[in-house]
Amino acid sequence: MLSHRNDYGNNRLIVARELNSGISVTSIWFANAFKLLVVVTFKSFTASIVVYVFTSTLLDFGYVFLGYFLGTWCWALFAQVLSLFFTNQLVAMLTLILVPTFEVILPVPWQSGCNAGALMYPSPEALQGLCAREQPVYPPFWGGHFTVALNFWKIMYTAEMEEYPDYFAKSTLVNNTNYWMLGMDPSDLADPDYAGARGTAVLLLCLMVVSHHIAIWLLLRNMLNYVKNEKMSCHKFCGCSYQKVPEDVALRVGRQANQDSTSTTVSYA
């Protein structure tokens, strides 16, 4: 995920110069979006092949690729958004490292404090009395339906459960999982709609992809406004303006200019 920060983070000065030279925001956004799409496709395809070959799964390869593709795409776009939001790239890198780490360390929000042993309760009604299903939304990726990990799991789980015989719907473990993790009502557990749950998960991941693209375009537009107006926008946490040239670069350019002018004067003399 950190590698995708380079698209805008390490090339911030280049992007600012391109915007200042008259290249449109949409052109820069589209070029990086297309590049990201190609890279994410190859990465997710490679990961899908490894998982599909070395794990005993019943679902088709297409669903494995779909889950990894959408999940990887969301996280890669999230990295680009942070690289544009924070002008201090050290802060962006630390955030990109800490967010996935805390998502693993902290309790899973959709489990509402319950553990996996709760799935062994005799019925969804008993589970309902002990474990709430509220799904709060915590930014950026924690909690509720807007969690990449949860929607990825829904795609994989529903595709695999469709391969099992119908009598598996009578299993207590399956019913509790469908009630707790998929959000199904007890009345729907006898004939679970796995395709509908999977479609909802895919739709939510696609909405996250679209929202991240919109955020990137708006941040590029904001960078263009700073370049045009030549304003300095410093913040003690996020850093300084988009178009500000680092001091060492400015000194190096100034020394080179002085050397060029001196050599020109000597040659004329």
pLDDT digits (tens, 9 = 90+) for 173-201: 777 777 777 777 777 777 788 888 889 88
**How many other C-beta atoms can be found within 10 angstroms of the C-beta atom of residue 56?**
4
pTM of the complete model: 0.72
User: Which one-letter amino acid corresponds to residue 143?
Assistant: G
Question: In terms of C-beta density within 10 A (0-12 exposed, 13-18 middle, 19 or more buried), how is residue 159 classed?
Answer: buried
- The yes-or-no verdict on residue 163 having pLDDT over 50 is yes
Q: What is the mean pLDDT of residues 198-224?
A: 90
